[in-house]
């Protein structure tokens, strides 16, 4: 079983919020997309959602879709008011300087082995 804490180092992640869930949230896979309704329709419970979107609606979608975390790729950051909402809703937010393609490749290697 892969947990959130196991992907932090390989994916060069900074934890923006939700540190307390790293040791308990299971990662079942990953999904990369920047169209919200598409994500709602396709992402599976427990998947890492990789995106370059960082508006407050991203948090609502992650809650609805029951993602294991939001992973902001390509050095995208999230402003404090949105992070506050993520804390409130219990969503972990990570960020990485890696391009989305690289992040997917590394995650697939971790989860599918």
Partner 1 sequence: MKLDFVIRGSDFINAGEASSGTKKALTRLGISPKAIKRAAIAMYEAELNAVIHAGGGNAEVEIFSDHVQIRVIDNGPGIPDVELAMQEGWSTAPDIAREMGFGAGMGLPNIKKNSNDMSIETEIGHGTTLTIMIRF
Ligand X SMILES: Nc1ncnc2c1ncn2[C@@H]1O[C@H](COP(=O)(O)OP(=O)(O)OP(=O)(O)O)[C@@H](O)[C@H]1O
> Using CB under 6 A as the criterion, which residues of the chain lie in contact with ligand X when the complex forms?
36-37
**Binders of partner 1 in range 7-46 (CB under 8 A):** 34-38, 40-41
Shortest gap between Cβ of 36 and ligand X (angstroms)?
Answer: 6
Select from 56, 106, 110, 111 the one that contacts partner 1 (CB under 8 A).
Answer: 56
Nearer Cβ to ligand X, position 53 or 111? 53
Instruction: Provide the minimum distance between the beta carbon of 41 and ligand X in the complex, in angstroms, as a whole number.
Output: 9
Size of the site for partner 1 (CB under 8 A): 19
SS3 for the chain is CCEHHHHHCCCCCEEEECHHHCCCCECCEEEECCCHHHHHHHCCCCEEEEECCCCCHHHHHHHHHCCCEEEECCCCCCCHHHHHHHHHHCCCEEECCCCHHHHHHHHHHHHCC
Q: Is 76 in the site for partner 1 (CB under 8 A)?
A: no
């Amino acid at each position: 079983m892969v947990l959130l804490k196991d992907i932090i180092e390989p994916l060069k992640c900074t934890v923006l919020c939700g540190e307390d869930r790293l040791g308990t949230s299971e990662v079942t896979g990953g999904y990369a997309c920047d169209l919200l309704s598409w994500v709602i329709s396709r992402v599976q419970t427990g998947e890492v959602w990789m995106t370059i979107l960082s508006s407050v609606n991203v948090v609502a979608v992650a809650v609805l879709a029951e993602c294991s975390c939001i992973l902001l790729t390509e050095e995208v950051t999230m402003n404090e008011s949105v992070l506050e909402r993520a804390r409130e809703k219990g969503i972990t937010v990570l960020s990485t300087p890696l391009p989305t393609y690289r992040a997917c490749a590394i995650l697939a290697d971790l989860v599918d082995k």
